[in-house]
């Protein structure tokens, strides 16, 4: 599943995190630290699975339960970004 940042989004990394502005809906938000990390990975990797994997590798420290939770949360976060039009996902 290829992920791309919508052309309608203006964004920038700031001291507080990544700030996003959707030019069509007018929605603005600043992502927290984790959200910002995922956003930067989307920009570089552009795929759901590798992002979820690398987040779980970085934070689960081998704990399977934590790893599953991280994968679920990353997927939820990306899902919500796709839903609000900030990210586009193509099969």
Partner 1 sequence: MTRVVVLGGGLAGVLAAVALTRHADEVVVLETDHYPASPRPRRGLPQSHHNHVLVTGGIRALDRLLPGVVDDLLDAGAHRRNMPGDCLIFSGEGWFHRVRTEADLIACSRPLLDEVVRRHAGIEVVQGVTATGLTGDAGKVTGVHISAEIRRPGRGHAGRLAELRTTTGTPLSDLPQIARTGSVRADLVVDATGRRSQAPGWLAALGVSPVEEVSVPSGVSYATRLYEGPGDIPAVMVHPKYTPARGGTLFPIEGGRWIVTMTGDPPLDEAGFLAYARELRDPVIADLIAKAKPVGPIRPCHDTANRRRRFEDVTLPEGFLAVGDSVVTVNPVYSHGMSVAAMTAVRIAEEGPSQRAVAEVADRSWRMAVAAPRKGGDAKVGRAMLSSPGLAAELFHGQALIPAVRDHHAVFRAMVDDPVEPLTAEQAISQFAWAR
> Closest distance between partner 1 and the C-beta of residue 65, in Å?
38
Q: 3-class secondary structure for the chain?
A: CEEEECCCEEEEEECCEEEEEECCCCCEEECCHHHHHHHHHHHHCCEHHHHHHHHHHHHCCCCHHHHHHHHHHHHHHHHHHHHCCCEEEEC
Q: Applying CB under 8 A, does 7 fall inside the site for partner 1? A: no
Q: Does 14 bind partner 1 (CB under 8 A)?
A: yes
User: CB 41 → partner 1: shortest distance, Å?
Assistant: 21
Q: 17 to 56, contacts with partner 1 by CB under 8 A?
A: 19, 21, 23, 26, 28
Residues that bind partner 1 (CB under 8 A): 10, 12, 14, 19, 21, 23, 26, 28
């Amino acid at each position: 599943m290829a992920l791309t940042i919508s052309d309608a989004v203006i964004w920038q990394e700031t001291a507080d995190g990544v700030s996003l502005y959707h030019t069509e809906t007018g929605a603005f938000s600043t992502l927290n630290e984790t959200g910002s990390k995922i956003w930067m990975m989307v920009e570089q990797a552009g795929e759901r699975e590798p992002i979820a994997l690398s987040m779980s590798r970085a934070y689960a420290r081998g704990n399977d339960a934590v790893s599953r939770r991280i994968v679920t949360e990353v997927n939820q976060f990306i899902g919500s970004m796709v839903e609000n039009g900030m990210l586009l996902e193509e099969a």
